[in-house]
Amino acid sequence: MRHREALDALIHKYAPAWPVQQIAVIDRNVLRIAIYELSGATGTPPKVAINEAVDLAKLFGSDNSSRFVNGVLGAAIGGERITLSAAPDAPQAAAPDKE
């Protein structure tokens, strides 16, 4: 994934209490997809991107995944515009997935 480091840095920004590599694999990948969509790269409306992400988390994640994903994405759209090029640096975001 070309933007993985930038996406992980944004996840870290909106969920600072959770080191990115400690977030469940499903949740982390759902968040990556949704934040990519929220950046405007796909033209997907924000409400649709969040709803799809929450549905994926309910279907494939743990019992609390949908609430976690919804909370992180709510924080993401509550702030400034999301851009992949302006993603803050997060050292733990650079670690490769082991899945």
The predicted model scores a pTM of 0.81
Phi first, then psi: what are they for 24, rounded to 5°? -50, 145
Look up tokens 């759209």; give the residue.
77
pLDDT in tens for each of the 99 residues of the chain?
678 999 999 999 999 999 999 999 999 999 999 999 999 888 889 999 999 999 999 999 999 999 999 999 999 988 777 777 655 554 444 445 555
Phi first, then psi: what are they for 64, rounded to 5°? -100, 0
Look up tokens 């969040």; give the residue.
50
Region 4-94: CATH code: 1.10.940.10
Closest CA to 21 of 99, 81, 93: 93
Q: Give residue limits of the domains in the chain.
A: 4-94
